[in-house]
Structure formats: structure tokens, C-alpha cells
Structure 1
Amino acid sequence: MMAKGLLFLIVTTMISPVFCDCPLDKIRSFGKCSFHIQCKTDVRDVALPPHCLGSTNDPVIIDLVLNNAKSDMFDINNRDREILYSVTTFRVSGVFPKTNLSMLEHMPHLRVLFLVNNRMEIIYGSPFSQLRHLEHLDLSHNNLTDIKDLLQFNTYPSRFRILVLAHNAIEKIPNVSFNGLSSLTELDLSFNRISDLSDNPFQNLTRLGILKLNNNRITDLNGALNELHTLKHLFLRGNQIQNFNAQSLDIIKELETFDLSSNQLEDLKEVVFVRHWKHFDTNSVCKILLSDNQIIAIPNVKSKEVFDRYVRSVPGYGNNIFTVTTELDLSNNAISNISYNAFQPLVRLVSLDLSHNKITNFDVNPRDMIYVKYLNLSCNFITNLKFDSFQSMHNLQNLDLSHNDLEIIPGHTFTNNNKLKYLNMTDNQIEKLEHFRIKMFDPEGGVLDLSNNSISQLSIPNGEGLHLNILVLKANMIADPALIYLCYQNKLETLDMSVNIIQELKNNSLNLPVTLSSLDLSNNSIAKIHPGTFKRIEQLRTLRLAFNKLTEIEYGTFQELKHLSYLDLSYNNITNLDSRVMTDLKSLRMLSLKYNGLYTLDYKIWLGHHFDLNVYLEGNNISCDWLAAALNDYNNGFSKMKPIAHMRSSSGYSLEGIPCEQDAHQLSKLTTVMADERLLVVVQKILRAVEHQNDLYKRIFMGHEINHKSVN
């Protein structure tokens, strides 16, 4: 109630507050003298509550949003002047191609100012000169070209931290552009047309920590950033830089984030990798991003860089060295050669992305890979893996080897990698894996994806592949599933063998562990499933057999699958189905029979089913007679089977959105009969409820009479 009263006091206009420039429903209080006000076209007839005028105990905070401003100035009275004087955050949208932003004259207490997407081309005068409390100024998404005299202040704002000039048309940054703004910690000049930094415009920004120059036209840094000794995050992505050396950026050793991706680098200098770890905060993550360049090789470092690395590793040199980690991205280059000691300067390298290059051999010093958790070697030309390179990767969790030319998993390669959570080997040339050669995955479970190879045979011996949880063998050349031997994988829960060439399933076809809960055999050519096929995997919950060539289901096919809850038989050729063949499926809750051309479905076995069973039936030839009877039985509670459709039919004959085959006269009659039967059921339920209510009243009345007699 108190907040509501404050809001009421704010609106002083005599007309309805809903239709004024700053309507009541757009004013919100979030403190005693703190308000969010949203106005349209102008700011008029709004005032502070009296107790907030000149308040010192309760600081006045006004967050003002002005949409579709009709002008860059205010037509104000004394009351308006009071509210504007107290504005601390101002966001305005309008169209001001040429402006002096005179509206700011009335807001000397502004801390945060957003002038985004206002099509500003020229800003006259010094509209920010009085904003000595300014902390954050955003002028992005305009058409500004000249910023030489833009940021002039009578008294330089000591709290000014963030300046955003991104997405403008700035080509040059004169030397005096940021004079006096030594308090800036973040400057964003991204998405402009800057090509030349030779004027050294950043020399006075002695506290700058973040500088965004990405997506400009810079070809050379020319030492323009060498005075920024507090800079930690530098973004140069999307420029035209061809050469880089220590003279270009003397402070590179102090950078946590160095983004030089999407440039034109060909030659990689060792200095890019070197860092002074003792300058960083605890648990810092150093990111070196060099993707999307034209780098052809990663050379060995010089002896000086190697020496510096080991000096930095000595305890006492810097305590933070043991918590700072490095992520290196070299993806999308033309790298074909990686020298053995290329990564020596990188202490605690945890992520390495070398995807989309021309690497044929990954042979590096294993001591530099000890801390690596994520390694991406996808989309290269690797034919073999060196055991030496992987032997020290005790922390490796995610390894991507997809889209290479691997034919086997070399022996002992992953012997020491016992924390693997995800191994991607899709799109290689693997045909047989008679020896798995992966000792152990992470104790919480691992995923192995071998899709899109040419695998016809795979065997995981006892004692290998421990903790494997998910195995994907999609799109291979599996014809005989008996050659996929996984009986020893007592942690395997999900197996995907879809998109293969399996034609038949026999009672000895599936050599799978009893722990399996999901099996996908869809998109094969399975025409026959023998009884007892699934008896070894009695814990199965999900079975997918869609897109095969099944015409019938024999008795005993789903023997022992008493826990199966989802069965997908869609897109086969099953025209008739007797529910009695599914007697074993005691826990079935969802059955998909879509697009089989089904004519009849006997559902009597499901009359006493334990659970409601959704049966998806679109894309079949079932009659409306049968469908009406099935729906009637379910709706009346006689059957647990509920006919359903994923997509309700919008054309042709249908009942409850489920398509069926019937002539119009019979369909009308069936619909009427079903409506009458449902009405009868409803009436019966109402009568039972009335009977129950009458019995209740009788008991209450009789109890009242007994109590009355006992009193007398």
C-alpha cells in the first residue's frame, strides 16, 4: 500500500494518468525514493513525492526511459525540472541525426546514459560537460564519425568507467579523443572503420582493463597499446592484421584474453604464448584466440621462452601460477606442422582447439598436455595417434577426433586417460574394432560416438571400456548385430545402432549387457524379429524400431521386456496387429504405430493394462467404426488404451483429431452415437454424485435428530 501511495504522488497531471506522457502503470517503485519511470515522446507532469525532495537519508535514484522521443530537448516546467534533476539512469530512443542533446542540461546527476540506436551523425557542442557523476556512457549503434571533441568535461568524471562507441562509422581516433579519461576501465570501439592507430590515442587510459577493437580495419598496432599496463582483455577479432611481434604489443605477457582471431596471420610468433602469470588474479583463465587465420605451422619456442616457463614454475615465483589456466584456440587455420615443443610456454594448458586444419600427425611433448581437459582435433587428416602424446593426459575429459582418416584405435593410446567423458570419433575410416584399447572412462559415465564409419564388427573385451555409459554406432555397416559384442559393459545404458544394414534379428543377435535401458535399431532393413530376441536385455525401457520393413510381430517377440515403457514401430508395413503379441509389455506407456498402413488393431489385452497407454495412429487405414469403439472404451474407463495423434488431422475424416477411413454418412452416425454415449456416461456420473450427496444429507439429518432427542 505504501509503494502504491508513492506512485500516486508522482503523477501530478490532472488528466487520466493512463494517457499522459508518463502513465501511472509505467511507474514502479523499488525503494523509498527509488523509481523506474517509463515515458513516451516527452517527460511532463511528473514530480517527486515531497519527502524525497532534498532527501539525504534516502538517496534519490531515478531510472528514466523515454521511448520515441519527439525532440532532443525538453519543454519543461518547474515540477519536471525537479524530477529530471534527480535522474541517475537515462535511456532514450528517438531519431536525432544532428543534435546538441540539450535534454542533458537538466540531468547533472546522471550516472548511466544510454543513447543507443538514435541515428546520430553529429553531436554539437559539449553536451556531456556537466555530467561529473557519469559512470557509464553508451553511444553504440549510431552513425558517428568524429569523436575528437565529443568527450569534453568541465570537471573530468572521476567515476567514469565504461565507454561504448561500438557500431558507428568512426575511421580515425585523434590523439586527444580520450584526454583526461584516465578512470576508464572498459572501452568498446568494435564494429567501426578504424584502420590507423598511429596517433597513439590510448596513452592516457592508464586504468584500462578491457579494450574492444574487434571488427575494424586495423592492419598494424604500431605500438599504440604499449602504455596500457593494466590491460587484461584485448579483442582484435575481425581486422586485417598480417604480422604480429613483441614490438607491436609489448604488454602481451600481461593479457588474460588475447583475441586475434579472424585476421590474416600466417606466421605465429612464440611471444603470443608467453604470459607473466604472477600478474593475474587467482583462478584466472587466460584465453588465446587465434582461430580463422592463415597460420601454417606452430614452431618450437626459443630457449628463452622455455627458460622463462620453468622459472615461472618454481614455487615462490608467483602463487597464482598454480591456479591460472590457459585456453588456446587455433581452429580454422592451415596448420600442417606442429613442432614437438610448440606448447612449452603454456603453463597449465586446459583447452586446445586445433580443429579444421591440415594436421596429419599430432606428436607433441606429453609434459605440456598434463592438464588438458578439452582437446579438439576434428576435421584434419590424422591417420594415426601417437601413444606418447596422450600418455600424460590424465585429466582429459573431452576428445574430438571426428572427421579424420583414422582406421583403428592404436594400442595403449588411451591407457592413462581414466577421466574421459566424451570421445567423438565420427566420420573416420574405422571398419573393425576387435580390440577396444580404451581402458576406462570417467567413473560417472562416458560417451563414445563412432557414427559414420564403416564398422561391421566391434568387440569390447572384459576389463576394457569400463564405465562406458552411451555408445553410438549410427550410420555404419553393421549387418549382423551379433558381431557387436558388449556383454561385459555392465554400465552401458544407451546403444544406438540406427541407420545400418541389419535385416533380421535372431534370438542370439543381441550380445548386450543386462543394464541396457535404451536401444535404437531404427532406419535399418529389419524384416523379421524372432521370438526371444530381447530376452537378454530385460531392463530395457526404450526400444526404437521405426523405419524398418516389419510386416508382422510374432508371439514372444518381446519376451521378458516387462519394464519397457516406450516402443516405436512407426514407418513399417504392419497392416494387422493383435495386442496379444505384446502380453509381456506390462509397463508399456507409449506405443507408436504411425504410418504402417494399419487396418485393424485388436486392443483387448490392454483392457486391464496397469497404465494409461498412448497409441499414436496417424498415417494408417483404421476404420472410424473401430476408432469410435476404441475411444468410447477409453473415455468410459473400460480400456487403458488411448488412441492419439502427434498432429491432429485438419482434413478428411477424423475423430478427436485422429484420421480414420469412413464414408460421410457412417461418420456422422458414429459421431452422434459417441456423443450420445458420452452424454449418457456424464448423466450417470451426475446421478451417482446426487445419490452420494443425498446419502450424506440423510446421515447428517439422522445425526441431528439423535442429538436433539438425547438433549430432550
Structure 2
Amino acid sequence: MTNSLKIQFVSTAVILLILPLSSSIKARKCPKECSCDDTKLIVGCVGKNLTHIPPTIDENTVKLDLRSNNLQMLSRGAFMHTPFLTHLNLQRCNIVKVKEGAFRALGRLVSLNLANNKIDILYQESFDGLSSLKELHLDHNRIEEIQPGAFTQLGFLNMLVLTHNQLVYIPNMAFQGLQNIKWLRLSHNSLNNLAPEAFTGLFTLSRLNLDHNELQFFPTQTMTRLPEVRRLDMSYNPMTYLGEESVFMAKLTHLYLNHMSLQDLSDQAFSQAPVLSQVDLSHNQLHYLERLSGPKDLITLNLTGNPIYCNCFMRPLKEWATAGGVKLLGACAGPPHLDDEPLQAVTSLDLRCRSRGEILKEEDGKEQESKGSIPTTATPKQSVKCPLNCECDTEAHHATCEGSGHTKVPRGFPIKTQLLDLRGNHFHFLRARSFPGTSQVVSLHLEFCKIHEIEGNAFQGMKSLLYLYLSDNYLTSLDPRAFAGVPDLTYLHLEGNQLVQFPGSALSLTPNLFVLHLERNSISKLEPSGLLSSVTPTLRELYLSNNTITVIAKAALSSAFIETLHLDSNQLTEVPTDALPEAPNLEELNLSRNSIGWVGPKAFQSISQSLRRLYMDHMGMEKMSKDVLLDLGPGLKVLTLRGNQLKVLPDLSPLTGLEMVDLQDNPLLCDCALEPLHRWVENVRLEVTATCDLPPELRGQQVRDVPVFTACPKIIAPSNETAAVEPRISKMQKSKPSSLKPRKVKARPGRAKIQKQPKKPSQMAKKTENKKTVNITN
């Protein structure tokens, strides 16, 4: 080898050795305040008093630990330079505010920890961009408000932790968008009330923690919206009574009601919770219990720490527990000869009653003993400023005068009151400035107050008011300035009044209104005079169920933002097709229980790109255009047609994105006209209940199973408006080769070419695998 060749060889070798060294040096881009693990792509900057996120963190970092710094605020796009993060820890960083779009670049993040900060409001777009997030920790903050839509981008979230915050109230649809949530933790807040629709949409939630709050009643109506919850913790809430059917939860297995103030419990309290296996009633004030109706698989009933008096009144419970193999935990608190005797060891013969005189004598003795045992050092509870016949809790910032017979709005509530409950009084008339000194009230309850009239400026000064409940009063109209002075009003409940017109002029002073409830009024028309875009520019949800609406004018729904519209139980005779183009972002439309006998072509074409849920139950509908669903395509997720008069259904095959469909209680005619439905039912993974009504010999049989469709032509000629349906050979025909004589179909003008329609088997299989399975029950 010549010298020049040797030199060239050595140079090449040196370059090859230097290249990986230089690339590894380049990869070790690590901020001086941090420690970096290049192998595991982990960066830790813990306790460095950082006021901003180091810009030199390597963009390939997967795990970033920023605990115990002083970031204070997360600005928009704060993590744009670290798009590959999967785990982010921001505990104890003195974060006060998370600006909209702060996490917008983190589409791969699966775990986000924001615990032990100072966050007080969750804004509408705070978590935008976190499309893969599975765990979100927000515990030990100061959160007192969840703005509507805060979680709409978290479709894959499994666990949300909101414990140890300052939540007073959960509004309707607060957790909208959490389509895969499994565990929601709301312990250690100041929750006093839950809206009926607070948990609506949480169809996958299996575990809920509401312990250590201030709920005085079991939120039955709210809990019925949770069909999959199996474990519910309500312990450490000040409830005193559970009435009949309080717990209406079909799949609940574990219920924790310990350390409350329960003094009585109906024997029917759990009658609508049939699969309960564990009930914890320990450390309450129960003296005895009747046998419980409902749960057939109960294993353990914990009564530890209750003053159970083991006499004949406990005998039915003991016999019921013995017969059902239920383990009773706890011990007797009396009579004296059974003190501290375990309930499990006591027999029915031990549970005897003495004479009434003996019982009263013993109870009087105990009462005197109790009075004499009060320590002389006990200090009286400190009095707080509160109107007569009202109760004020300065720690929780709540005040209530519910059902106290007031005819005028009481005055003199603590200045920091946030939840003011005045329902069930007799105010009749609200004068101007009826609520002085309530500038910090966030939620005001005025339900069932017999209010006939609200004067202009009645709520003047309530600058923090977000939730206003005027349900079930006697309002027939609203003064144009009724809501002056409450510019931040977000949720307005006017259902159950006697309004005859949409209150457009009054709503013009609520520029931030998000949800409006007008159910159960007497509104007969929606006219352009109440244009939503001008009076309520931010409105997202409008509920008009149970009115007398017959006409919806062309421009009456004008709104660029409205997403949910409920028009069920009105007097419409046709789909308001002309009005729908004014609501281009409409996602949910409910037309059920209107007298709409016919739904024509292109009825929903103007909202086809946005519509996700369509409800048309019990309308008496006899016919649908075969083209009406074509425009909706893969975007539609929910379709219900229950309880109509449909004999034939349009082709559902374009609705490839359906997650739920309800076709029950229609008199379907099972002949060849229904063959497209039969073919569709066989090919989807949804559980579809569709039964034949005619001919009589097939009545009650599932469309999927009847053999009548095997005789139908397999290639159906499409019209000019509809694409041809893919030809298909049934299982029965496959077993009889002699009957498979293909027919020749000549091409005609306007006819779609048959060979273009069928999809490849591999494509069909892939498409089928991607579909979701949804159970449709009667």
C-alpha cells in the first residue's frame, strides 16, 4: 500500500470515529440547571427556582420533571419545543394560571401532574392539544370554577383528580368530552349541590369519589346519568336521611356512606341498586335498620360505630341477613346485657323487646346522663352574621334560607358568600337591587319562589354571578333589563315558568351566556326578533323541551356557536329544515315527541358536517326519505328512531361512524324493501334491536334472523339520487349452490356502475374492526 493510500485510509477511519462522537455530543443538549438521562430521554429540573421552562431542553425528551419551581403562569405554547413528551410533572410550581393553548403541542402526553399549585379557574381551552392524555392530576389547588368545555379535548382521559380544591357546585355538562373516563375524584371540596346533568356524558365512568364534601342529600337525579359506575364513595358528607330509591344505579357494587350523619334509612333506599355487594354505613347515627329491599348479592353490611339498639326492631334485619348470607359488621350499643355484642354473633332470640314503660324509662335516664356529661369547658359555637331563619357557613361560603317562608329577599349575608340558596320561599316580586352585599355570589337559587315579576336591575351588583336558577316560578315575561348587572352570567335556568315568548330582549344583557334552559314554558314560536347571534352571541346549549312550539322562523336560530338544541315534546309538524342552516355548528338535535309524520330529503343537509347526535323518538313518523341520511355520513354517532310508525327504513350503510342506534318499537314490514336494513344489521358490530311486525307470521322476530330476505334480489338498482348497494350473498344461499344463478344487469343511463361499488374484503374487514360495540337495551 502506498503512503498516500495509507494516509487516506487513516483519515477516513478517523472521520468515521468522530462522526458518532459528534452526533452523541449534539444529542446531549441539557440545560445547566437540569440533569439529563440521554438513554431514557429523561430531563429533571427539580427545585431549581426556575421562573420559566428552559428553552434548551432537547426536543426528543420523553419525560420532564419540573417539580418545586416558581413558574407561576403557563403561557400559550409553553411546550412547543418538546413535542415528544409523554410524562410531565409540574407539582409545586406556584402556578396560578394555565393560559389557553399552554399544552397545545403535547399530542403524545399521557400523564400530566399539576398538583399542589394555586390554580383557581380551569379555562375553556386550558387542556387543548392533549389528545392522548390518560391521567390528569389537579389536586391540592384552589379551583373553584370549571368553565364549560374545559375538558372537551381530553377524549382519552382515564383518570381525573380534582381532590382538595374549592369547588362549591358542579354545573351541567361540566365534564363534557371525557368519553373514556374511568375514575373521577372530587373528594375534599366544598360541594353542596350537583346539577342534574353534572355527570352527563360520562358513559364509561366506573368509579366516583365525592367523599369529604357538604352534600346534604343523596343526588339521585344526578347519579342516574352514570350507567357504568360500580364504586361510589359518598362518605364524610352531612346527610341525615336516605329515602326510597335514593340510590338508582343499576351496576353499583360498592357504596361507601360512612362517617355521615344518617339517622334514618328507608328499607327501599337501595331498591334500584340490584347488584350491590358491599355497603358501608359505619359511624353514623343509626339506632336500627329494617331489612333492605333490592340488593340480592349483598355480601357485607358495615354498621360499625352506630348506636344500634339490639331489640326486636332489629330482628327482621338479622333474619334477612342470616337467610341471605350477609355479614353484619358492628356491635350492639344496648340494651345493657348486649352492650358491645357483635351483630354477627347476636341471634334472633336475643333480639327481644321489653315493655314500653321500661324502654321510656331507660331512654329518659340516658338523656339525663347525656345532658349531665357536657364538659364545663365547652365553648359555644361562634355566631356569624346571618339573616333571621337562615344558615350561613363562613368556611364553605354558603348561605341558605331554603323553605323559610320569606316574602322579601333577606339581607345581611356574609360578604364572602358564594352559594346563596333561597329556594322555596314566597317572594312574588323581585325589586331593583334585591341582593345588596352579594358581589361574590357565584350561584343563586330562586326555584319555587312563586315569582311573578322581576324588575329591571333586580340582580344589580352581583358581578360574580355565573349560575342563576329561576326554575318553577310564575314568570310570563321578562323585563328587558332583568339581568342588568350580571354580565358574566353563564348558566340560566328558566324552565317551569309561563313564558309565552323567547325572552330575547332580556338576554341581550348576558353576553357570556353559555347554557339556557327554557323547558316547560308556553313558547309557541321562535321568531327572528329573538336572534341568538345578537342577544346571546356565546350560547352553546339551548333547551326548549315541553313548550308549544309550532313554528321556527328561518332566521330564528341564527348563531355561529350553538351546539346543542332540544326541541322535543313540542308541536312541530315538520323538521325545521329552513332554520337549521343558521346553526352551522350544531352537534346534538332532539326532535322527539313532535308530530312529524314525514322526514323529507336533505332535511339535515345544512348541518351534515357538524351533527353528531340525532334523536327522533315517538314522533308518529310513518316515512323517511331514502336519501335523508346520506348527507350525515360517518360523522353521526347517535341515531334514535324508537317508537315510530316506520315500516321501512332508509339505507343506514352511509352512517359508518355510528356508536349507538335505537330502532325499537317500529312496525317494520319484513319484505324485500327492508333488505338493505337486514344486510346492514348483519355487517355492523353494533347491537341492533329491530323486530318484524309484518307479515304476522314473522311478528316479534329479529330482522337479523328471519330467512325471508334470502329470496330477495341481491343487486338492487339504484336511483339517480342514491349510490348502488354492494351485492351480497347470504349464508343460506351459500348452502344451496343450485339457486345461485347470477342475473345479467344491463347498464342504463343514470345507473351507477355495479363494479365500482363493492369494496375489497380486506377493506371491509378493517372497517369492521374499527367500529365500536354499543349495547342497545329495551
| Higher share in strand | 1
**Structure number with larger C-alpha Rg:** 1
* TM-score after normalising by structure 2: 0.43
